[in-house]
Structure 1
Amino acid sequence: MKYATELKKFASSQSIYSAVRISLAIVLPSVILAHFGLLKEYFLFPLATSFIGLTDQAGPFVRRRNALILAIVSFFTVALIASLLKSFPFLIYPEIILFSKFFTMIGVYGQRLAAVGSLSLVVLAIFIDGHLTGSNIMKSSLIFLAGSIFYLLIFLVVSKIQPYKLAGQMIGENYLRLGNYLSLKSKFYFKNPDFEALNSQIISQQISIKNLQEETRETVFETRKIVNESTTTSRLLMLMFLDSIDLHEKLMTSESDYRKVQENFGSTDFLNSIGEYLQKLSEEMVNIGIALQSNRKARPIENIDLMLEKIFNEYFDLRNKKLTPENLEDFMTLRFILNRITSISDDVKTIYKVFSQDEKLAKSLSTELDFRKFVTAEEKLSVKVFLSNFSLKSSLFRHAIRIAIALVIGYWISSFEFLGIGHAYWILITIVAILKPAYATTKHRNLLRLYGTISGAIIAYGLLYFISDQIILFVLFLTAMILCFSFLKTKYAWAVFFMTIYVFLAFNILNPGNVNLIFKDRILDTVIAGAVAFVVSYFVLPVWEHTQNLKLMQKSALSNLNYFSAAMAFFRNENMEPEAYKLARKAAVIDLANLSDNFQRMISDPKNQQKKLEHFHQFVNTSHLITAYIASFSQYSEASKVYPEIDFESWDLKISAELGRTDLLLNQKDLHHTILQESKIQPMDTVEKLLENRKKELAENEFFDRRDPNRISHLTKLKNLKEILELIYDVAKEQRKVAEKLEPEDQSTMVKQ
């Protein structure tokens, strides 16, 4: 691991930038209040600032602003009602149930409002027993309101000063993820690769890239300054994001039969050279990402042309020594791998040219895309949509019930005097943080929360025991807070670790010498909350991942069918607009990632709930391969008229029929006789005949050493194009057989002919 690069990635990231902004918004007023001896009295001011800051998720300015305003109103309302009802114990339980249901259910309008709802329940936990609010209810509520508004003002000022900052950081993060993705793929070329482990990691990375692309699309396409302004910066950022999406597709096209490549060339050093080159290329992508995040120009780390020339010279040397009529097709495969690597290298070089801030290049940008079609629309705030989810068929409604029951149990346990809990609200806050709609996510966060809390408490206890200098403790407090907010989305255990440290230090600032009580309460409350969350998630209306399998398989199968149809139509110049093709590609990648994500969660479900796990795993793997192979096929579209030797019409019917059979199987629809016949069509290609002729020539004639990296023979293109079509069909056929193994109720008997 290159620690300097990792440090640069972290230091320039959106997460650290956001964390510093939130932390300073909390600390600066706290320092001022402490200077005048008012911090204890006005402690709710910075506390409210921190809560509002946590609801500020990346996205378009308007949506972020509206969500912050809604959060301010919600927090103030909850704080005021909870403070008024704290003196009426018989009303507290109904209060918990009503607020839990409502603020969980608003998650139906998207993740942004789901975050507002979760933090509203945290506010409820803080104010429910009046432990931090004192006797003057109105004063406490207004102080809390003022702290909330303070963060909104900071957000408005920062957004005005740096309108492009967030977009640049998010686009940069896309390139960082693409660099990691290529780094993973490079490992297939080193000695003795672990194919299963690497494939699993690549699928996980695909999920990560998909989620980030969706967030970035929303930010870039719906931010008017980025889309509509004719400034060089806005156009270049748009170009950089669109290039990252196209680059992602090209990285997917680098899918090959790695086992076969290793069998044929694993004994040579050439595959290792390819792996090393791809590692270098991944470092260039990371370099671009860091530069975008840092808002500076990027310069190449290495001379890409020289590295590529070296790779080609090694290939030509190997070909001269090893090429025979028997391994001709193997060398064609290797040559085409180099062709794809060259295409990716050219894209990286083009991106570096964009960083030259070429104004003519920026002003010539015209995507001709309707951006609105590429952004996932947020659910409108319709009462009808909200009420329609009040059903046990809704996973969100079931989650709302679990949250309500868990909080009621948590509050009830906190009232047991023999436990001597001094900070009962920690139980409720921890339950809200741990309990998620998916059992697997709840289980995972439960363990991370426990590890992070125990280790953080031990470290914090040691710091307070051995360090008495208040300046040092304050620096540690600020550092822990920044790191907590930085890791909150990506490394939850570390976030909890640093959160525990800064909470300990914060309570020590407010009430010195109370560390033993805080230590006991923090550990005890986390254990209680974790136990409650686990029991409720397991026994109360659980939603197991296997219940989502069929729906996600249906979506992925249909998306791949549509993606192939769009790619074939685009390839054959059948009036397919680039926008329609890119929308089909986007849908296929999103549905593939959702399918893969569901499988990853299913692995963490109890063994008795991992229904048809092996078959589902096979379906996920075949879906991944089909999407990657279609992406490979689509790269030929620019020169489609020069391949008369391939019967594309028959391949179109054959592959579409096989993909269609899977779609019909999953949707329990009857199969027309025609589709069976189409799936058995034998395309009238002439590629094999040409290959035989070439082998004969190679055996009879002297081989000439042609060393032109830019020249790839027409026969090599034909061979690889046909191979891709064969791979799509073979994997589609394998997937159809997997679909046939599902439970009888999931398919029509007619489809299994």
Structure 2
Amino acid sequence: MKVPKDFISTSIKDLTEFFKSTDFSKAILLGIALTVPIIVGIKLGALQIGITITLGAMLASPSDVSGSLRHKITGILFATLLAMIVSFIGAYLHFSLWLLFPVLGILMFAISYISIYGFRASLISFSGLFALVLSFSSVSASGMEPYERVLLIGLGGLWYALLAIGWHYIFPKAPTEFYLSKTLRLTADYLKTRGKLVAEKSNRTELLKKLLTIQSDLTATHETLRDILISSRTGSGKSNYEGKRMLIFAQLVDMLELAMTNPVNYSKTDELFEKKTEQLEDFQGLLFAMSNQLNVIADNLSNPKKLQKSTEIDRYWKRINKDILEFNSSAVNPFEENWLMLKNLLKYQKEQANKIEKIEWLLKNPAQQEVSSINRKETKRFLTKQNYDLEILVENFNLRSPIFKHSLRLAVVTMVGFGVGILVSVQNPYWILLTLIVIMRPTFGLTKTRSRQRTIGTLIGGTLAVGIVLITQNTTVYAILAIVCLVIAFSMVQRNYKAGATFITLFVVFIYALLRPDIFSVIQYRVTDTLIGAGLATMGNLLLWPAWEVQGIQKTLLETIKAHRIYLEEIIGYYNKKGEVSAQYKVSRKKAFLAMSDLSATFQRMTQEPKSRQKHLDKIYEIAVLNNTFLSSLASLSTFILNHPTTPASRNFNKVSGRIIENLLDAEHILIEGISSEEKTDDLEIENIFEATFGKDLNLSKEEKTQPQSENFHLKVEEAHLVREQLKWLLAMSEKMPKLLRQINFE
């Protein structure tokens, strides 16, 4: 059977990307952190000390996630401190079962509740939960005094922190290059999907879902890259490399906004391109060519000398420009709407091509004096800061908080799991607890997915382990395979949890194979404990204070609509005042994109829940797509007024934009209070407000039609057309939002 060349090249590219990823580099770092203390311990005849230091490094490692070095090291140190405290408490938990169970539940709740402070806090919380679970393992029964074990765990955490610092200074550019490459590829995927969406007429649903997923991933990657670049610049001062990477990142952020732009809604483009199929193919080809060029840039990020200017982009741009000129020359009305729409669409794509050229120029290391700088103080405003006030703990201490319910649920299920482990007399009851803390998530959908992936991965790993054990009983082979499986497991956990679970199972089996001969019973108990843990995790999320997404999506929708309203207000303010673009304007844009990303992710989790709990799924999907289209229209308006000289904002513009703001506020009131404000009693009917204000068509006076058509006059007509169409589209969507929200019961 012949394997396609495209499949081979794609697989090689994916493998290369994997080896360049921060997940793989962290796995290598963790492999060093865990093996060195054990090897040194064996050489010095102090294996138990080496194992305990290794344990400390393992407990510190979860907080080592991408971001600034300061945040990373702070997270590692706090994780180490929490692991030390929990390990000390855990050393005294071996008393009466009647007392052990409530103490276990209280500790589980308290440690898990720390994750209320955000993502990095949830990783620190996991280290504490991990330390508590390991208190029940044979690893803790080392014959050491509790204080000795705690100090060695602390030493292991410091050892890992030093390694992380050293790794950062040896490979300072690696995280930036990886996430910059990832951003380029995701932007390329977004453009490619947009290209497919332009041609699709019958069913755009799947492509729109894919577009929302890519947009969500891209926004999350932007946040990580923003943290790395801004924090490193503010921490180490101005750097030529960092400054240029920051400018490239700024171009990519603008590219996402440009990629979202729609000069008009799809129905009008469909109607036009149905008659002009060659223009459709050219526009689609241009999007594909730009997507391909971004992938080429990502491939040669570390070797920009290989970059060549894309001839495909130039070719398609010239063809589209020629098509538009021919279209205009044959039109009866020189200001026909279709011509104006095509010309504005081409301007967006030309702006996109210019962004790509700017990225290529920046990568080719121009002289520092040729590169504009970014204000470091202003960039700090773009960082998302986490609030660590104690008030947050108090405010969320109720059953309305998803994290509170998750912590309570985890506490109860771990007590049940430990009890089941004792009653069934499994070999290692703490494996059930370990499965629970790894699998259980605040929402049912994520827990169900993790349970399935963990179970499948464990079964695959167990099957492979049986095969390897039957082939060889060589302990040296087991030791080598254990180290290899450990590195692969930790590098795959975030990318593919099923694969990560497979290699974690192999690692555990091979470690036990080095310590005891009954390897098949180890595999059997490992699978049994995983099945019990996965079952309890799923049932716990289903039965104990379940947190269904429909309950939380109300707040997410509110934050999204509010962010869009503030972004629109900034656009209106700029259009009226002109001048320099403020940092607040860009911050509001960032928050709008982040809010939309959160809404997309929430909807995706909702689709993973039981059908009986997917209340109003169609309506929620409709309003999610409506919000994304609304943001796309805002991006179109924003991009145009930022990149073109514009005329003063008219009274009609402010009147209609004011009505849009009112509609968004009405939608917010529905989400806050469950009721809408009274129906508007404007003299104009809602459906007719736009036509009554602007008229049905772009009307020009006889003088305007007959006067010499200067370039400046053309620009004014294009501006009038685009602003008019975007306002009409925004108004229609803003009118629809409250109507949809009234149909949804969020209880």
TM-score normalised over the length of structure 1: 0.87
Do the aligned partners of residues 143 and 362 (structure 1) sit closer, same or farther apart at CA in structure 2, a change above 3 Å counting?
farther
User: Is the Cα contact below 8 Å between 1:571 and 1:636 reproduced in 2?
Assistant: no
- d(CA) in 2 for partners of 1:330, 1:724: 15
User: Are positions 1:535 and 2:545 aligned together?
Assistant: no
Equivalent position to 1:740, from 731, 736, 742 = 742
Report what 2:277 is aligned to.
268
Structure 2 residue ranges without an equivalent (≥5): 1-6
Q: How does 1:336-355 map to 2 (within 5 A)?
A: 336-355=344-363
1:430 to 426, 429, 435: 435
Partner of 2:253: 245
Which residue of structure 2 lines up, in the alignment, with residue 398 of structure 1?
405
Matches within 5 A, 1:672-683: 680=689, 682-683=692-693
For residue 312 of structure 1, what is the aligned residue in structure 2? 318
Tell me, yes or no, if the aligned pair for 1:176 and 1:290 is still in contact at 8 Å.
no
Match of 1:213 among 207, 222, 237: 222
The whole-number CA distance in structure 1 between the counterparts of 2:19 and 2:702 is 57
Distance 1:547 1:123, change over 3 A: same
Are 1:70 and 2:72 counterparts? no
Local SS of the residue matching 1:84: coil
Alignment pair present for 1:605 and 2:609: yes
Q: Distance in 2 between matches of 1:72 and 1:653?
A: 53
Given the superposition, is the C-alpha separation of residues 275 and 472 from structure 1 closer, same or farther in structure 2, using an over 3 Å criterion? farther
Q: Match for residue 600 of structure 2?
A: 596
Letter in 2 for 1:156: I
* Alignment match, 1:181: 190
Task: Verify the 8 A CA contact 1:55 1:68 in the aligned structure 2.
Answer: yes
Alpha carbons of structure 1 residues 315 and 237: separation in structure 2 relative to 1, 3 Å: closer
Amino acid at match of 1:411: F
Quote the offset at 1:151 in angstroms: 0.6
Once the two structures are superposed, what CA deviation does each residue of 1:425-479 show, in whole Å capped at 9, x if it has no partner?
Answer: 1110110011111112111211111111111221232223224555655554333
Measured against aligned partners, the alpha-carbon deviations of 1:29-50 in whole angstroms (never above 9, x if no partner) come to 3344455675577433323322
**Most deviating of 463-472 and 597-606:** 463-472
How far, CA to CA, are the matches of 2:699 and 2:338 in structure 1? Answer: 17
Shift of 1:621: 1.0
1:320-335 correspondence runs (5 A): 320=326, 324-325=331-332, 329-335=337-343
294, 300, 309: which one aligns with 1:303: 309
Matches within 5 A, 1:108-123: 108-123=116-131
Match of 1:548 among 527, 552, 569: 552
Q: Please say if 1:518 is aligned against 2:522.
A: yes
Residue 61 of structure 1 is aligned with which of 57, 69, 77?
69
**Secondary structure of the corresponding residue to residue 136 of structure 1:** coil
- C-alpha displacement of 1:633: 0.4
1:182 to 1:691, Cα distance in 2 relative to 1, 3 A: farther
Structure 2: how far apart are the matches of 1:692 and 1:449?
72
State the Cα distance separating 1:134 from its structure 2 match: 3.0
| Cα distance in 2, alignment partners of residues 321 and 578 from structure 1 | 39
> d(CA) in 2 for partners of 1:409 and 1:722?
62
Contact 1:56 1:68 in 2 (8 A): yes
- Partner of 1:689 in structure 2? 699
3-state SS of the aligned residue for 1:379? coil
Q: Deviations over 1:501-542 (max 9, x none)?
A: 22222322344x432112111111111001111111111111
State the alpha-carbon separation in 1 of the partners of residues 248 and 520 from structure 2. Answer: 53
Q: Does 1:649 align with 2:659?
A: no
CA distance in 1, matches of 2:696, 2:235: 48
Given candidates 145, 156, 161, the residue that maps to 1:147 is 156
Corresponding residue for 1:79? 87
SS at match of 2:428: coil
Contact preservation (8 Å) 2:195, 2:284: yes
Cα offset, 1:109, TM superposition: 2.0
Matched, 1:14 2:19: no
In the superposition, relative to structure 1, how do residues 514 and 178 fare at CA in structure 2: closer, same or farther (>3 Å)? farther
- Alignment equivalent of 1:284, drawn from 293, 315, 327: 293
Aligned equivalent of 2:503 = 498
Counterpart-to-counterpart distance in 2, 1:286 and 1:675: 52
Correspondence for 2:728 = 726
Greater Cα offset, 466-475 or 551-560? 466-475
* Cα deviations by residue, 1:261-300 (Å, 9 ceiling, x for unpaired): 34543583553444344233223323444555xxx24357
| Alpha-carbon distance, 1:195 to partner | 0.8
Name the CA distance, whole Å, in 2 between partners of 1:691 and 1:328.
Answer: 14
Letter paired with 1:452? G
Aligned to 1:389: 396
Aligned to 1:705: none
Distance 2:354 2:477 in 1: 51
Q: Which amino acid aligns with 1:688?
A: L
What are the residue-to-residue correspondences of 1:431-450 with 2, within 5 Å? 431-450=436-455
Gaps of at least 5 residues in structure 1 are: 698-707, 747-753
1:430-509 alignment to 2 at 5 Å?
Answer: 430-468=435-473, 473-509=478-514
2:422 maps to which residue?
Answer: 415
Compared with structure 1, are the counterparts of its residues 254 and 344 closer, same or farther at alpha carbon in structure 2 (3 Å cutoff)? Answer: farther
- Paired residue secondary structure (2:92): helix
SS in 2 for 1:85: coil
Distance 1:588 1:207 in 2: 12
Closer, same or farther: CA 234–314 of 1 in aligned 2, 3 Å: closer
Q: Do 1:232 and 1:362's aligned partners in 2 also have CA atoms closer than 8 Å?
A: no
Structure 2 CA distance, aligned partners of 1:483 and 1:324? 63
Q: Deviations over 1:662-721 (max 9, x none)?
A: 334334353485778596253336962349999x99xxxxxxxxxx9x998664554333
Return closer, same or farther for 1:208/1:469 CA change in 2, 3 Å cut-off: same
The residue number in structure 2 matching 1:751 is none
Give me the identity figure in percent: 19
Counterpart of 1:597, as a letter, is A
Q: 2:144 is aligned with what amino acid?
A: N
The CA distance in 1 between the partners of 2:676 and 2:203, in whole Å, is: 39
Deviation at 1:198, TM superposition (A): 0.7
Shift of 1:412: 0.4
Question: What is the aligned partner in structure 2 of residue 700 from structure 1?
Answer: none
- SS of corresponding position for 1:364: coil
8 Å CA contact retained: 1:171, 1:241:
yes
Kindly state the Cα deviation for residue 350 of structure 1 after the two structures are TM-superposed: 0.2
Give me the whole-angstrom Cα distance separating, in 2, the residues matched to 1:527 and 1:117: 24
Match of 2:441, as an amino acid?
K
1:109 to 1:306, Cα distance in 2 relative to 1, 3 A: closer
Amino acid at match of 1:530: A
Q: Please report the RMSD computed on the Cα atoms of aligned residues, expressed in angstroms.
A: 3.4
- For residue 620 of structure 1, report the CA deviation from its aligned partner: 0.8
**What one-letter code is carried by the residue in structure 1 that aligns with 2:128?**
S
From the superposition, tell whether residues 160 and 313 of structure 1 become closer, same or farther in structure 2 (CA, over 3 Å): closer
Change in Cα spacing, 1:372 to 1:226, as seen in structure 2 (3 Å) is: closer
Match of 1:199 among 203, 208, 232: 208
CA gap of 1:253–1:402, structure 2 versus 1, over 3 A, is: same
